[in-house]
Every structure is written in C-alpha cells, then in structure tokens.
Amino acid sequence: MLEVVDVGTQSIAAYAASAGAEAVEELRALAAPLRGARVLHLNATPYGGGVAEILRSQIPLLRDLGLAADWCIIRGDEVFFRVTKKIHNGLQGAPEPLTADEQEIYRAISARNAAHLDRDYDLIVVHDPQPLALRHYRADHGRHATRWIWRCHIDTSEPNPTVWQFLLPYLDGYDAAVFTLGAFVPPDFPAVRVDVIPPAIDPESPKNLDLDPGLARRVLQWIGVEVDKPLITQVSRFDPWKDPLGVIDGYRLIRREVPDLQLALVGSMALDDPQAWEIYRQIQAAAAADPGIHVFTNLTGVSNLEVNAFQRLSDVIVQKSIREGFGLVVSEALWKGTPVVAGKVGGIPLQMPKGIGGFLVDSIEAYAERTLWLLRHPEEGKALAELGRARVRQRFLLPRLLADELRLYADLLGGGQAAVVRDPVCGRSLEPGTGVETRVGDVVLRFCSENCRRMFLVAQDSYAWAACGPEGAPPASQHE
Ligand code: UDP
C-alpha cells in the first residue's frame, strides 16, 4: 500500500457562507450520482506547495459528499526527487536534458511505487509529473476498469523537448488530462480528453479563515517582525521560478525611498523539492547583514497561521514569479484584502486582470516601482485588493473547483457521455443547439448570449482557458 495522507473532516455546509448556498446545493447534486465512487488522488508530498494545499482541503469534502476518496503519496529518496524536480523544471522550459541514469531512476522508482498501488479504485487522479508513470507500470489484471486522470499544475506550454519526449509514452492509458490554462497544453499533446480547470483556495482552511488583526499582529511580533514598520512579503517554495533573489533586489531599490521597509520571504520545504535547500542558501547569502530581510520556513515553525497573518498584515504581497502554474498565493492574499504585485506569467493574470487586485510586472524595476506606489497609496491599494477579493469569491474558491472536477468524474465514470458545454465567460451550461458561436483559431466557442460573446472578444486574455475548447470553463457567473 502506498503511504496514505491523513486528513481531518470537513462539512460542505460550512461553505455556504463564503461561496453561497447555491454552490453547495449544486455540489450535492453533482456528487449524488457519484456516491460511493472510489477515488484516489496521488501526488509526491503531503505538505509544501499548492498541490498538497488543495488536496488537504479537497479530500475531506469529497468524503463529506459521499465519495470514497483517498490521498496517497509516492515514496522516493532524494536522488529520485532530484530527477523529478529536473523533470518539473524541464516541463517549464529549463534546457537541461535528463541523463540515461536519471531516466532509469525515474522508471525504477515509478515501477516500485506502482507495485504498492494495490487497492482498486474507480478513478485515479495523478498530480504532476512525479507519479505520472505509475499508470504505465500498474498491473491492472483486468479486474477493474479504473479511469485515470493526469492533473498537470505547471506551465507546460513550452516544455524542454527532450524531457517532454521522455514523458510522452507514460501518458498512454490516461483517460483525461486537466490543465490550469488552455495555453499550457503542449502542442503535440496526445488526443485524450483535455479539460481546463483552474485551481482554487479554501476559504475555510486555517490559512484563509478570518483572523483577528490583534491576534495576527501578535503572531508576527512573536516571530520577529516589526508590525508598525512597512512590510512586503513573498510566500513561496524556495524555487528559482519564484525568483526570490529578484525579490531581494527589488526590495533594495524600494528601500532607497522607504528606509524602514521590511521584506519577509516565507518559504516551505516540500518533501519532493531538494532544490529548495540550494535556493535557501542563496537567499541567506543575499540577505546577510540586512536586518530588514526576514527569512522563514515551515521547518522553523512558520505554518498556516503565520502565513495567514503575513498575507493579512503585509502592505503588499509580492509574487515575482518568472514561470508559474497558477499561484494560489495570489488568491490567498486577495481574499484577505491585501494588494499584490506579481509576475505577469502563468495563471496569475487570470486572477488579476488589469485593474484588479494590484499590478502585473515583468521586471525588477517595475516590481519595485509598483510596490512603492502601493506603499504610498494604501487606500488605492485596498480598493484594488477588494476588487481582487470579489474575483476570488466568484471564480477561485474551492466549491467551484470541486464542481468542475465532479463533472469530469461523472463524465468519465458514466461511460464517456458528452462533456458539458459551458459558456467560457459566465460558466452557464448550454443545451445542445442553444447560444451563439464564435471561432477562435481552431476552436469553436459557444456563449449563452451576444453579451457574453462580446465580453469574451474584448477581454480574451482573461479567458485564456477557453483556448482549449468550450469544455472546462469555470462556472463563476458574470450575471450574478
Ligand atoms: N505555502 C505555505 N508556506 C510557505 C510557502 C508556501 O504554506 O512557506 C503555501 C502557500 O500558502 C500556497 C502554496 O504553499 O498555498 C503554494 O502554492 P502556489 O500555487 O502559490 O505555488 P506552488 O508551490 O504550487 O508552485
């Protein structure tokens, strides 16, 4: 048996306050035909990073909705996870190829993990490249027709070709793949069903629950932050794509104008990310002798409560990524009413289209300039963040993600019924033959009304997921 991750219990009813009673009712209706379905989510780490964050919240809710859901992680040593991090980096475009030895390590550890996958499931959702090859090595013995989904959370729009070619055969046998944006689907992706489903944050998790400002201040004071001085924070794995050294360089530019500015870099060390230690050492070297820079990790006791306090009390949250899957931290900060300055990459513009949430940047200078502006214009910053919070409420809360996934499960387990066609702007389900159509490149999109079609055409970038086809658009309604 693979290692099972223990999670607590949670009731879907608790989400009526944040996501609306209708969303909860919709989930109950979607889950009813799936009652008893055995679903396994499989990834590589129980903590640190967005996937673990989502699964920790999602599994209890799937159980509350009546599915028999498990969460397991694969096992591997540091050598294996160095290889999988290299694959992760390669999928995001890093040029280093895998050596023959590294390929062999990936195969051997995948085969060993597959041998421990000894329970029957109706559906197995495999997250990211680390456990991808288990499908290939799993001996099904024809006992049970398990459906397999590959859920890719990273930006695979321009993968390193050699790494991608190495992985491609392991996609054989998957029934569906899910990406965060349509733009992330590699051009030669095999012809399985592809859905585009952006992730979401859990408004009921300790990280995102309301926190009394007095308590939040005490939490940050306790760990050494001077809460009466200006503070900017980046909360991220210590990863080159999150550009923590660029964050420090920009902070130094801002500090010329705001001498008492503090920078907090809050980073988690995931089980499957040995590279984090190298980056951590680089950050420490770059931050040395600057008392304004605070570096915290989960290993020194900074956990959900502290992250909640940082995202709430910082004047600006920074996410200066140079590649990004979705960037849950952006929605987490906006949900708390804090403005964000973030790299214009991956799923971040989806969360913060122009004029909402803060500013998108593509250089250290722009990040410094925009952050300085927000430090000097706190009221305007709050107003931007409030718009961001409204957008998160509409599109990026967990019930929407669950609804999208339950639809996919039902389609796959129901014997491949036609996928629901939804308006990519408002998310309404469309009956066959209704609505208006528009061709975008090779794809024909359907909209519930001329109004939605026009909204799509003037702001196509905000609906990047639609590029993959009419399925999988988020259900958040513009008509609300
Ligand atoms: N996170 C955390 N502590 C840290 C750093 C990150 O709890 O020190 C969490 C963060 O709050 C978010 C997740 O890890 O929920 C990171 O997800 P994101 O999508 O931003 O990035 P990923 O790590 O998946 O690339």
Would you say the CB of residue 345 lies under 6 angstroms from ligand 1?
no
Domain ranges of the chain: 3-200+398-419, 213-395
Question: Does 50 contact ligand 1 (Cβ within 6 A)?
Answer: yes
Q: Give the residue whose CA is nearest to atom 6 of ligand 1.
A: 236
Q: Is 129 in the pocket of ligand 1 (CB under 6 A)?
A: no
- Burial class, 109, CB count within 10 angstroms (exposed 0-12 / middle 13-18 / buried 19+): buried
Residue with the smallest CA separation from ligand 1 atom 23 is: 49
* Pocket lining: 237 vs ligand 1, CB cutoff 6 Å: yes
Atom of ligand 1 lying closest to residue 302 CA: 8
Count of residues making up the chain: 480
Evaluate whether 400 touches 476 at the Cβ level (below 8 Å).
yes
Residue 319: pLDDT over 80:
yes
Ligand 1 centre distance from Cα of residue 307 (Å): 9
Nearest atom within ligand 1 for CA of residue 330: 20
Residue closest by Cα to atom 9 of ligand 1: 49
325 lines ligand 1 (CB under 6 A): yes
- The answer to whether 45 and 52 have CB atoms below 8 angstroms apart is yes
HSE of 71, CA atoms in CB hemisphere, 13 A: 23
Query: pLDDT value at position 439?
Result: 65
3 state SS of 124: strand
Measure the CA–CA gap between 87 and 164, rounded to whole angstroms: 9
Q: How many CB atoms lie within 10 A of CB 395?
A: 20
| d(CA 113, ligand 1 centre) in Å | 26
- The pLDDT tens digits for 94-117 are 999 999 999 999 999 999 999 999
- CA atoms of 362 and 120, how far apart (whole Å): 47
- pLDDT tens digits along 167-218: 999 999 999 999 999 999 998 999 789 999 999 999 999 999 999 999 999 9
Task: Please report which confidence band the pLDDT of residue 442 belongs to, taking 50, 70 and 90 as the band edges.
Answer: very low
Which pLDDT value is given to residue 301? Answer: 86
pLDDT (0 to 100) of residue 270? 83
Of all protein residues, whose CA lies closest to atom 20 belonging to ligand 1?
Answer: 327
In this prediction, residue 144 carries a pLDDT of 61
Closest residue CA from atom 14 of ligand 1: 49
Mean pLDDT lowest among 117-126, 230-239, 264-273, 408-417: 408-417
More confident residue, 56 or 298: 56
Q: How far apart are CA 319 and CA 340, in angstroms?
A: 7
| Mean pLDDT for the stretch of residues 2-24 | 96
User: Is 477 a residue whose pLDDT tops 60?
Assistant: no
Measured CA to CA, the distance from residue 87 to residue 96 in angstroms comes to 9
- The Cα 239–Cα 275 span in angstroms is 7
Q: What is the pLDDT of residues 353-410, one digit of tens each?
A: 999 999 999 999 999 999 999 999 999 999 999 999 999 999 999 999 999 999 999 9
Which residue's CA is the nearest one to ligand 1's atom 10?
329
- Over range 35-61, report the average pLDDT: 97
Q: Which residue has the tokens 């469309």?
A: 430
Q: Is the pLDDT of residue 422 over 50?
A: yes
Q: Give backbone dihedrals phi and psi of 235, rounded to 5 degrees, phi first.
A: -110, 110
Element (H, E) at 192: none
- On whether the CB atoms of residues 265 and 293 are closer than 8 A, the answer is yes
pLDDT at 433 (0 to 100):
62
DSSP sequence for 314-328: -SEEEE--SS-S--H
**What is the atom index within ligand 1 of the atom nearest the CA of 49?**
23
- CA of 324, closest atom in ligand 1: 25
Whether the CB-CB separation of 407 and 377 falls below 8 Å is answered with no
Question: CB-based contacts of 199: which residues, under 8 Å, 6+ apart?
Answer: 50, 54, 153, 180, 325, 326, 328, 347, 396, 401
- Token readout for 212 is 């009394």
Same fold yes or no, 3-200+398-419 and 213-395: yes
Cα–Cα–Cα angle for 400, 402, 408, rounded to 5 degrees: 110
How far is the centre of ligand 1, averaged over its atoms, from the C-alpha of 404 (Å)? 22
- Cβ 320 under 6 angstroms from ligand 1: no
Three-class DSSP category at 201: strand
Ligand 1 center from residue 54 Cα (angstroms) = 10
Predicted confidence at residue 445, as pLDDT, reads 73
Instruction: At 274, list the tokens.
Output: 């040995």
pLDDT for position 1: 87
CA gap 87, 118 in Å, rounded: 26
Query: Is 310 a residue whose pLDDT tops 90?
Result: yes
Residue 362 tokens, joined: 């593509």
Give the C-alpha separation, 256 to 292, whole Å.
13
Given a cut of 90, whether residue 271 has pLDDT beyond it is no
Across 305-309, average pLDDT: 98
- Residue 62 Cα to ligand 1 midpoint, Å, equals 22
Assess contact for 18 and 203: CB atoms under 8 A. Answer: yes
Give percent of the chain above pLDDT 70: 89
CA distances from 63 to 9, 70, 125 (A): 8, 9, 15
Pull the structure tokens for residue 454.
């026009």
With a 6 A CB cut-off, is 267 part of the ligand 1 pocket? yes
Q: Is 72 in contact with 3 (CB distance < 8 Å)?
A: yes
Cα 423 to Cα 5: distance, rounded to the nearest angstrom: 36
Asked if residue 246 has its Cβ within 6 Å of ligand 1, the reply is no
Residue with tokens 């993990």: 113
Do residues 346 and 320 make contact, with C-beta atoms less than 8 angstroms apart? no
Distance CA 159, CA 170 (A): 16
Task: Please give the distance, rounded to the nearest whole angstrom, from the Cα atom of residue 414 to the centre of ligand 1.
Answer: 34
**Protein residue with least CA distance to atom 24, ligand 1:** 50
**Nearest atom (ligand 1) to Cα of 48:** 14
What Rg, from alpha-carbon coordinates, does the chain have? 22
Per-residue pLDDT for 425 more than 80? no
Closest ligand 1 atom to 53 CA: 15
| Cβ(396) – ligand 1 distance below 6 Å | no
Would you say the C-alpha torsion 345, 351, 353, 355 has a positive or negative sign? negative
Sequence-ordered list of residues with C-beta below 8 angstroms from that of 421, at least 6 positions apart, any chain: 429, 430, 432, 446, 470, 471
d(CA 236, ligand 1 centre) in Å: 5
| Contact indicator for 7, 60 with CB cutoff of 8 Å | yes
Ligand 1, closest atom to CA 304? 7
Tell me if 268 CB under 6 Å of ligand 1.
yes
Whose Cα sits closest to atom 2 in ligand 1?
268
Does the CA dihedral 291-297-299-303 come out positive or negative?
positive
φ, ψ of residue 230 in degrees (nearest 5): -60, 145
Looking at ligand 1, which residue's alpha carbon is closest to its atom 11? Answer: 329
Q: Are 306 and 296 in contact (CB under 8 A)?
A: yes
Fold of 213-395: Rossmann fold (3.40.50)
Q: Which pLDDT value is given to residue 169? A: 96
Global pTM? Answer: 0.87
| Residue 256: pLDDT over 60 | yes
Q: Ligand 1 centroid vs 200 CA: distance in angstroms?
A: 12
Label residue 139 by pLDDT band (50, 70, 90): low
Is pLDDT of 244 > 60? yes
Q: What is the mean pLDDT of the chain?
A: 91
Q: Which amino acid is located at 415 in the chain?
A: G
Task: Give kind and range of the element (H or E) at residue 123.
Answer: strand 123-127
The structural architecture, per CATH, of the domain 3-200+398-419 is 3-Layer(aba) Sandwich (3.40)
CA atoms of 168 and 90, how far apart (whole Å): 13
Pair of tokens at residue 273: 């990310």
User: Is 272 in contact with 130 (CB distance < 8 Å)?
Assistant: yes
Residue 428 has a pLDDT of 64
Average pLDDT over residues 309-327: 98
